Amino acid sequence: MRKQIFYNLIQFVRRLIKNVYLILAMNKKFRIGFITIISIVLICILVILMIPYDPSTVGRFKPNQPPSLSHILGTDSMGRDVFAQLCLGTLHSFIVALIVATFGTIVGAFLGFISGYYGGILDNYLIRIVIDTFVTIPMLPVLILIASLIRAPNIWVLAGSLCIFSWAWPARQVRSQTISLKRRDFIYLAKLSGMNSMEIIVKEIMPHMVQWMVANYVNAVLWTFLTEAGVELLGLGPPTTITLGMIIYWAISYVAMLRGLWWWLFPPIIMFIVIFISLYLMHLGLEEFLNPAKRLSK
C-alpha cells in the first residue's frame, strides 16, 4: 500500500509539472511573469557567485558614493555596495517567500484533505479550534512578540514566523473543495473498488486540486513578499541579514532621501515593484487558465 501511495504522489507531482508547462505554453501573462522572475533570480545568483566579498561587510568601501563604473548603484552610508546588497537581498527575500509558500501550501492542503474527507469530530476539532484560531489571531502583535523575544533574528526565524500564519486559509479552502469532491460518484466507485481512505485522497481527490495548488503557491509567494516587506519596514526583520525590506529600512533610518542618496532607496523599491508586477501577471494568467469562461472570451 505504501508503494502505491508513493507512486500516486509521484504521479501527482508529474501532473503538477505538466500543468505548469501547459500554463506557460497557453497563457502569455503567466509566461511573461514567470520568465521575469526566473531571470531576476538567475542574474542575482550569478552576481553573488562572481563578487569576491561578502555584500553585508560594513566599511569595505568609501560610504555615500554615487553610481559609478566601480559601483553600479553606488555605496550606502555603511560603506557597502548597493548593487551587491540588492542581489543578495533579493535572493534572501525569495528564500523566505518560497519557504513560507511551500509550508503553507503543503500543510494547509494536508490538513484540508484530512479534515474535509474524514469529517466528524476530527473536522470539528481542526476547523473550529485549530484552523479558525490561527485565522483570527492578529499577525502583527505575534510578530512583534517574537521579535522582542529573539534579539538577533535571521531569515529562518522570519520565515518560521510567517509560516505560522500561512497555512490556515489554504486549509479552509482545501477542506471546502474536499467536502464537495467526496460526494461525487467517482469517490463512491473508488470505495466500492476497495481503495482505502488515503488512496482515495491521494489518487482521486488530490489530482483535482493540482491547478488550485499552483495558484495558491503563487499567491502565497506574493503575500509573503508584501508581508515580509511590511514587517521589516517596522524594524522587526533580521537586522544583520540583507533583504529587500531591510535595505529600505536602513535607507529610511539613515534619511537617504533627504541626504540625496537616492541610489540607496530607489533600487530595492523598483525591484519590489518589478517582482510584484511579475507575480501579479502570473496570478492573472493562472486565473485565466483556471476560468474556462475567460479563456473562451479571449
Could you give the percent of the chain with pLDDT greater than 90? Answer: 14
Banded pLDDT at 42 (limits 50, 70, 90): very high
> What does the longest C-alpha to C-alpha distance in the chain come to?
74
- Positive or negative: CA dihedral 139, 140, 142, 143: positive
pLDDT value for 270: 92
pLDDT classification of 238: cutoffs 50, 70, 90: confident
Q: What distance, in Å, lies between the first and last C-alpha atoms of the chain?
A: 45
List alpha helices for 200-297, DSSP H: 210-233, 244-253, 262-290, 292-297
In this predicted structure, the answer to whether residue 293 has a pLDDT above a threshold of 60 is no
Which domains are assigned to the chain? Answer: 2-49+73-297 (1.10.3720.10)
CA-CA distance, 256 to 241, in Å (whole number)?
19
Burial class from Cβ neighbours inside 10 Å (0-12, 13-18, 19+) for residue 134 reads middle
Mean per-residue pLDDT over the chain, rounded: 82
For the residues 221-242, what does the mean pLDDT come to? 83
φ, ψ for residue 81, nearest 5 deg = -70, 125
Using the structure block, give the residue that is written with the C-alpha cell 536602513: 250
* pLDDT, position 298: 52
58-62, 186-190, 273-277, 281-285: which has the highest mean pLDDT?
273-277
Residues 6+ apart with CB under 8 A from 33: 277, 278, 279, 280, 281, 282, 283, 285
Which band of pLDDT confidence, cut at 50, 70 and 90, is reported for residue 111?
A: confident
pTM of the model: 0.83
Confidence of residue 10 (pLDDT cuts 50, 70, 90): low
Choose between 122 and 40: higher pLDDT.
Answer: 40
- Banded model confidence at residue 260, pLDDT cuts 50, 70, 90: confident
pLDDT at 49 over 60: yes
Instruction: Choose between 121 and 19: higher pLDDT.
Output: 121
Q: Which of 3-17, 63-77, 78-92 has the lowest mean pLDDT?
A: 3-17
Higher-confidence residue of 153 and 266: namely 266
Check residue 222 and give its pLDDT. 86
Q: Which of 64-68, 212-216, 280-284 has the lowest mean pLDDT?
A: 212-216
Q: 88 to each of 44, 58, 139, 239, how far by Cα in Å? A: 7, 15, 27, 14
Which of 236, 221, 233, 270 is closest to 86 using CA atoms?
270
Per-residue pLDDT at 190 exceeds 90: no
Q: What's the pLDDT at 58?
A: 84
